[in-house]
Amino acid sequence: MIQVAIAAPSAVTRAGLEALLSSHAEFDVVGASADLATAASMRPDVLVAAVEIEELTAAGDSRGAPIVLVGGAGDPVWTEEALRLGARAVLPPDAAPAAIVAAVEAAASGLVALDPRDLEVLLAGAAPAHRPRETAALTAREIEVLRMMAEGTANKNIAWKLGISEHTVKFHVASILGKLNASSRTEAVTTGIRKGLILI
């Protein structure tokens, strides 16, 4: 039996996840908490979390159990960062109950589970070493962010307009700079205009 702990600031989300996971005989839900650290202290086999990526950063190596992130940003950059921070499954906000169950089982077995849409973009972005970085394609979300950068919009306002966290915006900006081989926001915008990615 797989022991599972749940972490989610929303009581409604916690209750929904608990009801879903408790309905499967192979899972033993050992507890639910509003934060990741408390859920991790329950020493489960798998942590199912619906939290901001900042909590992964704050938790560091104290988590112990593999993490299944539910209701992520639905963006490959966010997913890539979550994996870098130790998540073993990243599911979008519209993940089906069966997908959540399968992700928990995969994480317990030491496997990684990703939404197919994220996987496709991440694989496409894994350019060969000989390919120049500046040819890497921007995602639709990155182009949105780049367009707002060109308008002089601050990260905080970009986050508000797109309905994502400011931390996620920073990941997008860093990814844009890397893909365009730019050392500053201004250089990234200039390159984006030159390549026809955005118009002003």
Q: Across-strand partners of 90?
A: 69, 114
CB atoms within 10 A of CB 121: 19
Distance CA 76, CA 139 (A): 8
> Whole-model pTM above 0.95?
no
* 198 DSSP 8-state letter: -
pLDDT tens digit string along 9-67?
Answer: 989 999 999 999 999 999 999 999 998 888 888 999 999 998 877 776 655 444 578 88
pLDDT tens digit string along 130-150?
Answer: 444 444 678 888 888 998 999
Q: Which domains does the chain have, with CATH numbers?
A: 2-120 (3.40.50.2300), 127-194 (1.10.10.10)
In 64-200, alpha helices (H):
76-84, 97-108, 116-125, 140-150, 155-162, 166-179, 185-194
